[in-house]
C-alpha cells in the first residue's frame, strides 16, 4: 500500500506522534469498513435465505 509506505517514511523523519495518529485513524477506518461490509452481507443473507423461501416475501423485502 502506498499510504503505509508514506507513514513509515514520515516516521523516520522524526514526526512520530502525528504519523502514529494517522496510522491509528487508517486502522480504525479499515475496521469500520470491514464491520459495515459484514453487516450488509449478513442482511443480504438474511433476506435471501430466511425470507427468500417465500417468493412474495422476497419481493416485498427488496422494494
DSSP characters for 40-57?
Answer: HHHHHHIIIIISTTSHHH
Secondary structure of 20-31 as H, E, C letters? HHHHHHHHHHHH
pTM over 0.85: no
Q: How far apart are the C-alpha atoms of 22 and 63, rounded to whole Å?
A: 40
Each residue's pLDDT tens digit in the chain (63 positions)? 444 555 555 555 555 667 777 778 888 888 899 999 999 999 988 888 777 666 555 555 554
pLDDT of residue 42: 92
58, 33, 35: which is closest to 45 by C-alpha? Answer: 58
Per-residue pLDDT, 19: 72
Amino acid at each position: 500500500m502506498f499510504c503505509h509506505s508514506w507513514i513509515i517514511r514520515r516516521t523516520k523523519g522524526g514526526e512520530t506522534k502525528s504519523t502514529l495518529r494517522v496510522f491509528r485513524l487508517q486502522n480504525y477506518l479499515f475496521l469500520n469498513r470491514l464491520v459495515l461490509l459484514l453487516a450488509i452481507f449478513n442482511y443480504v443473507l438474511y433476506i435471501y435465505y430466511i425470507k427468500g423461501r417465500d417468493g412474495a416475501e422476497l419481493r416485498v423485502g427488496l422494494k
